[in-house]
Amino acid sequence: MRITPNITSQNALYNLQQGRSKLDSLQEQVASGVNYSRPSDEPIITQQLLNLQDKVTEGDQYSSNIIKANTWLKMTDTALGGMSDILAQVRKVAGTIVSGSSDPTTQANTISQLDELKKQLVDMGNTQFGDQYLFAGFSNNNPPFSTAANTYGGTSDAINVEINKGSQMAMNITGDNLLTGGGGTVNILQQIDALKTAIGTNNVPSIKAAATLLDQSTSQIDNARGDVAAKLIRTQNAQNMIAQNKSTLSGIMSGIQNVDMIKVATELNAQQTAFQAALSATAKISQLSLLDYLK
């Protein structure tokens, strides 16, 4: 096949364009610091990067869920700690009159103290997280307890939060099992009222029976605190695992996407030299005339 000047010119132009494109690509990598700036650069690797980023985003959502659950659980633990302290005071008051007293003033003062302690216990049971009541289950827009009734106004539902893929945890403790005898537990509010009645009538056997149930009530609150503590440990472990996974995924993404500056700078320098050489060679070829070929 005869090689014409036109073919030579076209080949030279094509090679210059390829060299310019490679040079532009290397310059863009140096400027951006990434290997792939657009999906068309490497579609398969771009898909891998997107999948990895999706997993990182998913982990961020679980972390957000865990942060909310941790805050909820810590507030719950604070409220339970307050209840435990109040019950300790109730038991102390009951201990001062466990043998009974026929003195009306003593009876009235003791009952008054128990009234105030019961109000404080109800206040703790109506602790809020934002505008939600911690111990009310799904019906958390309204206070679940009142000083007038020893019943529970919330629901027994668990408020589940997803702390990892396919792994859910109930972040709440419902107030029925906690204070009003749900699930076979002691109705603590009712027992305080029973203690008040027994003191008012100086019924020593009833006073002792109510005081004994108060011991069970304390264990009831302590068990709930233990449950909360176990959940806090679980969320902490989940958070640590998510952080480790995120670090691993980020490392993989960096290995794929981040530019090796030394390598690319070397390639850029070599490409610039080659491109300049190609320009010089093309310039010399373009200066040749028909007479040059006839010599």
Tell me whether residue 191 is in a domain: yes
Per-residue pLDDT tens digits for 240-276: 999 999 888 887 877 676 665 666 666 666 666 665 6
Element (H, E) at 169: strand 167-170
Tens of pLDDT, residues 160-216: 999 988 899 999 999 999 999 888 889 999 999 999 999 999 999 998 888 888 888
261 part of a folded domain: no
Domain housing 96: 52-252
CATH number where 224 lies: 1.20.1330.10
Q: Give residue 235's pLDDT band: very low, low, confident or very high (50, 70, 90).
A: very high
Confidence band of 295 (pLDDT split at 50, 70, 90) = very low
DSSP letter at 164? E
- Any domain includes 240: yes
Q: For residues 242 and 126, what is the distance between their CA atoms, to the nearest angstrom?
A: 33
Entry pTM: 0.74
In a domain, 274, yes or no: no
What is the number of domains present in the chain? 1
Position 117 in a domain: yes
Minimal CA–CA distance to 46: which of 57, 59, 36, 61? 36
| Whole-number Å distance between alpha carbons of 135 and 240 | 28
Residue 279 lies in a domain: no
Start-to-end Cα distance in the chain = 22
Share of the chain above pLDDT 70, in %: 71
- Cβ-contact 257, 49 below 8 angstroms: yes
